[in-house]
Chain A
Amino acid sequence: MWKSFLRERLSWILFVLIWLGVIDALLLLEYDIKVSSTSFWYLNLLTLCLLILFLLWRGVKERRFLKKLSLMLQHDAYDLQEMHTYVRTKADEEMLSLLQHIDRVYRKQTHALHVKQREQQEYVTTWVHEAKSPLTAMKLLINAHRTELYKWPWLKDIEDEWMKIDALVDQNLYAARLQKLEKDYQVQAVSLSELVFPNVAYFSKWCIEKKLHIDVENLDILVHTDPKWMQFVVKQVLSNAIKYSPLEGKLSFFSEETPKYVKLFIADQGEGIPTQDLPRVFEKGFTGNVGRKTKGATGLGLYFSKKITDALGHGIEVNSLLHEGTTVILTFYKRNSFDNLSKM
């Protein structure tokens, strides 16, 4: 700071020094002026001392505002109003009013964006709820005729398509809500089976068609989480597991409990994920080779899952062996109540 201050004032300093030099030259060379060498050195020393004192005074005064400003900007919460007390010079004042102007413009813009985004979010939410009505009617119609499937074999395909639309509509709702996830969740005690079973039931048609074997072990353990969000995460994971499972494959759900955490394992016997792809599975839009071959991989499921588990303070990881299967592990950390409070 001092360095830049001195560099900026260099021409002035040089001017004073040259001026001193000229006077010195005059004193030494001019025939008519006679000064003792003590007086000569006294004059020089005095001038230099005054110069240094002057620079110190100006430096402290002029840098005060900038110093405070940069300190404030280092922390994100800056208060330009407070800066008025640090204004010392006209330049400070002009700079402050300029900053305030820019600040006002940006605040206005971000506010407008917030309003727009909220409107958009509300629109999506309403839209999803409206869309659920015809979807429900359609599902009830399909169910009403399910016992007579042999008469209408195409009903199966329609149900498949129905499930895809329903999943996409759901995803849309959760995507819109994701932005305010930090404020929008309620933690309660839920058993792992409550997170898993409704989802397996939801995908029953698909699982039965693929003749999948469901293996369930130790899912009575309670964890603390928001059931809605985590059911959605399990649904994403499960839909992947079913999608990539081979015919007559096995889907296993089991858990592990330690004093520090509870882990939920969801394992399939699918193609697996190549090692080089593993670090990227949580990226937005990443589908990998198998995903690209199968239609309907949006690359959003795991991306959302990661965001949700992060926000809720849980862990998610994917282990996979090529040609042997994939295991997704959800970790629910046990925290004391104080940690929970500070997280909220």
Chain B
Amino acid sequence: MKILVVEDDGKIYELVKEKFEQWSFEVVGVEDFQKVMEVFITESPELVILDVNLPVYDGFYWCQQIRTVSKAPIVFLSSREHPMDIVMAMNVGADDYIQKPFNLDVLVAKVQALLRRTYSYGDTISDVIEWNGAVLDLKKGSLHYNDQEIHLTKNEFFILRLLLEERGKIVSREELMRRLWEDEKFVSDNTLSVNITRIRTKLEDIGLNDKIVTKKGQGYLVN
């Protein structure tokens, strides 16, 4: 899957590129902002991420140009948050509009959803995370291992997914809570402990013992 990111802020471009590459997307950028169309045509990406404020022409202009030749989904990234800007973006053919400052996870999730809807590549886009023979189904929110299946609650699924995404790294309790809160799940410290315990019990039920390691004073580690 190839994504074209049209963003003139170098740092933001780098970080977006890095994140999408982690999710095994191919990311291309634009160097000369007068030649966005040319890049689009030569690269023919499956999806475009467009900044609104750009040198030479703005994102609305490029969106219109792209729409004359392609139906590829277009996501706007912008610091303008006036309802009129959003209406304008949709009118020139955008599929989504994300405001700066944005969260990279949210951006990835939205892009994946758009790609699923447009190309119905349901299975080719990583909708599962594979982990030592176990498979976490991101759509159903369940975990499969040795023909056994366990169902996870929303919070449990969210926590396990996060730990698996950061595999090999220690994730602090604070970070876990932060991610949960940013997803509008305002859990307390105690609730987090309860959730972790329940995930462990459920993993043990299907024979995955001691998979989540507690690092005293630092956080949790999954290998």
Contact = CB atoms under 8 A, between A and B. Distances in A.
Nearest to B190: A213
B43 interface: no
Interface stretch (B100-108, B117-125, B145-153, B206-214): B100-108
A136 B102 contact: yes
A343 to B, nearest CB: 18
A146 B219 CA distance: 13
Interface stretch (B24-32, B67-75, B176-184): B176-184
A205 B166 contact: no
Contacts, number: 91
Contact of B184 (A146, A150, A201): A201
A146 B178 contact: yes
Given A201-B182, A216-B186, 16 more contacts: A130-B79, A132-B79, A135-B100, A136-B12, A136-B101, A139-B101, A140-B16, A146-B175, A147-B166, A147-B169, A148-B169, A150-B172, A186-B83, A201-B181, A205-B178, A208-B178
Contacts of B103: 143
Contacts of B15: 137, 140-141, 144
B102 A143 contact: no
A214 B101 CA distance: 24
Given A132-B101, A136-B101, A149 B79 contact: no
Given A133-B79, A136-B100, A146-B178, A141 B11 contact: yes
B171 A166 contact: no
A334 to B, nearest CB: 23
B132 interface: no
A149 B174 contact: yes
Interface of A: 128-130, 132-137, 139-141, 143-144, 146-150, 166, 186, 197-198, 200-201, 204-205, 207-208, 211, 213-214, 216, 228
Nearest to B81: A228
7 contacts: A129-B78, A129-B80, A134-B9, A137-B9, A140-B101, A149-B174, A228-B83
A136 B175 contact: no
A226 to B, nearest CB: 8
A75 B103 CA distance: 54
Given A130-B53, A132-B79, A228-B83, A147 B181 contact: no
B42 interface: no
A204 B181 contact: yes
Interface string B168-203: 011110110110011110101100000000000000
Nearest to A209: B174
A143 B12 CA distance: 12
B113 to A, nearest CB: 19
A149 B173 CA distance: 11
B106 to A, nearest CB: 10
A208 B181 contact: yes
B18 interface: yes
Contact of A213 (B169, B172, B175, B188): B188
B184 A198 contact: yes
A197 B80 CA distance: 21
